[in-house]
Amino acid sequence: MQIDPLIEAILQVWSSLPRVFDDRWPAWQIALAAFLIRYDDAADLEARSRVVIELEDWLDQSAPDLLAYLEAHMEAVQKGLAYRGIYSDTISLIRESVAGVQATPATASTVTRYTDITCPRRVWVIYGRIAVTVGLTVDPSQFSAAVEELRLRESLPVQVRIAAPGFEVLGEPEQQIAIRPGADSQPAVFYLHPEEVGHWTISFDFSQAGNLLGTAAVSVEITDYEVDVVSESRAGRTLQSGWDVQPADRLLYVRFERTGGQPHLVFTLQRAGEVGSEFQPVPIPGDPEAFALDLFGAPEALRVASRRGRIAGEEADRQLRNLGRNLWKTVIPLDLRELYAAERESWRNSTLMIVSDEPYIPWELVWPYGEPGSGWQDEDPWCVTLHLTRWLRHTAQHRGNPGPPGRLSLSALASLIPTDSGLPNAAKEQDMLRKLASDRGLSALGPDTPTWGAALDLLEEGGYDWLHVAAHGQFYEGPADSRSVIRLQDKRELAPSDLASPEIEGHIYRQRPGFFFNTCHSGRAGWALTHLGGWAETLISAGAGLFISPIWEVTDRQALDFATTFYGQLLAGQTVAEAVRSARLAVRKPGNPAWLAYSVYAHPNARLRE
């Protein structure tokens, strides 16, 4: 293929750029590498030309000195004479170097920008197309359809990806926006063709240098009658990524959409610093909640049957493995399975964060295997072969969260552990936490007798940066934000809806604390009328930096062992994902699925602040 002169100039001088630009180069390297990788991955000449145009715009706005240097070298470039072998070798080296640079990001100034989204709130279905623009402004715009505050690094472009159920996206669904020093950016423009009448949510996922910033969303109605095109402003919250954390190797976005009455899961895979790839939607037969309830019931039934001697532990493990393989076969799209099969060795022990707005599927259980005749199968599910965590996205009702923090605080440890739970090891878990606080010089908070009122007093007063709960949990039928409860002293039940308080939500928003709920069934979330429900959604939406809890029942002995191992590894310097995997392996026993039970919402590479 014929290489664009600007691209060829960059490749020829790539090795000299760190010396020429010294301290400015680390900030530019990731952005420049992202453009080169996009250019290399582009499907055709038109797509490559778009990348070059965006690259020129970014250089002009964010790195004019670098642009001048490259233009001086372009005259010496022999157009069309680049050898593919040299090109391929250089691109390969650039791909390999990006991860290392992202692992130790250079110190750079942080700037605040606001999303400026122009999008009609109502559109007639017969329109050929509508334009949706996304810009980043120095000051909030009163005319924006959705205003979110973003904390960004200068000189690095922001990637924005649109998801528009009910519409066809005309052109690329992902674009880059250059950050202009002290000035508004040139907006990215997405063209949408309305297809299905109804109320829809258009979402915009923002990332920078492979780190998730968060999601903005706007509601749009497609009508079957002519309407005026009117945009409305909507206030938002801060979307901020930690620059002191290595980005996940892969982000897997999973959207729940219902088109034509049929529910689907839509998957988008984004490698760190690269453009995301979308896969074929996966239809879900029937009610998604009923589908999930069957999954949640199976592991607990296996545990009980194995404990009572009805089936051997090896048979229970086999059934559990089959459950994970059925998840792989029925939920993961075929083209994503094929990609994984081709790249599985590079996936092994890598970090994967699943960013989802569906609360049902236990991704931890996914157990890959090959097509007939392929001859391969993974020996363990994703939660062991990968450093896996998950996160929740925004919705139009603002039920969601900015990206997860890269640093977590554990200096003021609060606990809610009722003394009348009947759990033999609950007292040992309390002793473990007290010893941990004493040995590490942590503040130990929390009432000795956690009544419902005392628990709310603790949450309202704040002062904690980590909350550990060890109690019975229960999952009821009913509204999603009140059916997942934890039982406190005197069997009083605390529900997510009890946290609707400006004091409680304000502290969680400011502090971004970690929450570890060692309870039964409290890790499961559900669909409320217009948003996700359950503890995970309530806490993450309020601003929590981490939430861990079992999805199905575990014994209090296993809960104690899991927590002890997790805290020990986390305090020893491991990442959240590493500490969780160590804890899973510590409680893994034949015939008992407790090692798979824990659901983890956090950045996989997050660590404790030193």
CA nearest 206: which of 113, 103, 109?
Answer: 113
Summarised one tens digit per residue, pLDDT across range 276-298 is 888 999 988 766 666 676 665 65
The yes-or-no verdict on residue 438 having pLDDT over 80 is yes
Q: How many CB atoms lie within 10 A of CB 290?
A: 11
Higher per-residue confidence, 506 vs 30: 506
pTM of the model: 0.79
418: DSSP letter: -
Q: Both 93 and 114 in a single domain?
A: no
Instruction: Report percent pLDDT > 70 for the chain.
Output: 82
Q: Both 153 and 198 in a single domain?
A: yes
Here the CATH number for the domain that contains residue 198 is: 2.60.40.10
Q: Both 92 and 180 in a single domain?
A: no
- What integer best gives the mean pLDDT of the chain? 83
Q: Both 458 and 539 in a single domain?
A: yes
Q: How many CB atoms lie within 10 A of CB 478?
A: 12
For residue 106, what pLDDT band results from cuts at 50, 70 and 90? very low
Let me know if residue 543 belongs to a domain. yes
Q: How many CB atoms lie within 10 A of CB 325?
A: 18
Least trusted range by pLDDT, from 285-289, 444-448, 510-514, 516-520 = 285-289
What is the domain extent for residue 212? 110-243
Phi, psi of 61, deg, nearest 5: -85, -40
The yes-or-no verdict on residue 64 having pLDDT over 70 is yes
Let me know if residue 376 belongs to a domain. no
Residue located via tokens 């949640």: 296
Phi, psi of 485, deg, nearest 5: -125, 160
Domain boundary among 64, 80, 103: 103
Instruction: Tell me how far apart the alpha carbons of residues 372 and 125 are, in angstroms, rounded to a whole number.
Output: 44
User: By the 8 A CB rule, do 214 and 394 touch?
Assistant: yes
User: By the 8 A CB rule, do 494 and 485 touch?
Assistant: yes
Q: One-letter amino acid identity for 55? A: L
User: By the 8 A CB rule, do 305 and 320 touch?
Assistant: no
The yes-or-no verdict on residue 191 having pLDDT over 80 is yes
Q: How many CB atoms lie within 10 A of CB 322?
A: 12
Residue located via tokens 């026993």: 589
210: DSSP letter: T
Here the CATH number for the domain that contains residue 546 is: 3.40.50.1460
Q: Both 116 and 236 in a single domain?
A: yes
The yes-or-no verdict on residue 105 having pLDDT over 70 is no
For residue 449, what pLDDT band results from cuts at 50, 70 and 90? very high
Domain boundary among 216, 243, 270: 243
The yes-or-no verdict on residue 521 having pLDDT over 60 is no
Let me know if residue 19 belongs to a domain. yes
Strand 466-470 to 473-475 pairing: unpaired
Let me know if residue 319 belongs to a domain. no
Summarised one tens digit per residue, pLDDT across range 368-407 is 999 999 999 999 999 999 999 999 886 546 555 688 999 9
The yes-or-no verdict on residue 104 having pLDDT over 50 is no
Q: How many CB atoms lie within 10 A of CB 392?
A: 25
Let me know if residue 568 belongs to a domain. yes
Let me know if residue 294 belongs to a domain. no
Domain boundary among 71, 103, 135: 103
- Beta-strand ranges (E) seen in 185-249 are 188-194, 198-208, 211-223, 238-240
Let me know if residue 69 belongs to a domain. yes
Let me know if residue 538 belongs to a domain. yes
Q: Both 57 and 147 in a single domain?
A: no
Section 127-143 average pLDDT: 88
Strand ordering across the sheet containing 211-223: 122-124, 211-223, 198-208, 158-163, 174-177
377: DSSP letter: B
592: DSSP letter: B
What is the pLDDT at residue 610?
A: 80
Least trusted range by pLDDT, from 83-92, 160-169, 206-215, 255-264 = 83-92
Q: Both 526 and 428 in a single domain?
A: yes
Q: Both 69 and 164 in a single domain?
A: no
220: DSSP letter: E
Q: Both 417 and 500 in a single domain?
A: yes
Section 573-596 average pLDDT: 92
The yes-or-no verdict on residue 107 having pLDDT over 70 is no
Instruction: Report percent pLDDT > 90 for the chain.
Output: 40
**Directed axis angle between helix 84-103 and helix 25-41, to 10°?**
130
Can you give the C-alpha Rg of the chain in angstroms? 25
Q: Both 132 and 192 in a single domain?
A: yes
For residue 33, what pLDDT band results from cuts at 50, 70 and 90? confident
Q: Both 593 and 488 in a single domain?
A: yes
Q: How far apart are the first and last CA of the chain?
A: 50
Residue located via tokens 């017969």: 126
Q: Both 49 and 156 in a single domain?
A: no
User: By the 8 A CB rule, do 466 and 413 touch?
Assistant: yes
What is the pLDDT at residue 241?
A: 54
Summarised one tens digit per residue, pLDDT across range 316-375 is 788 888 889 999 999 999 999 999 999 999 999 999 999 987 777 889 999 999 999 999
Instruction: Tell me how far apart the alpha carbons of residues 524 and 598 are, in angstroms, rounded to a whole number.
Output: 10
Q: How many domains is the chain built from?
A: 3
What is the pLDDT at residue 85?
A: 45
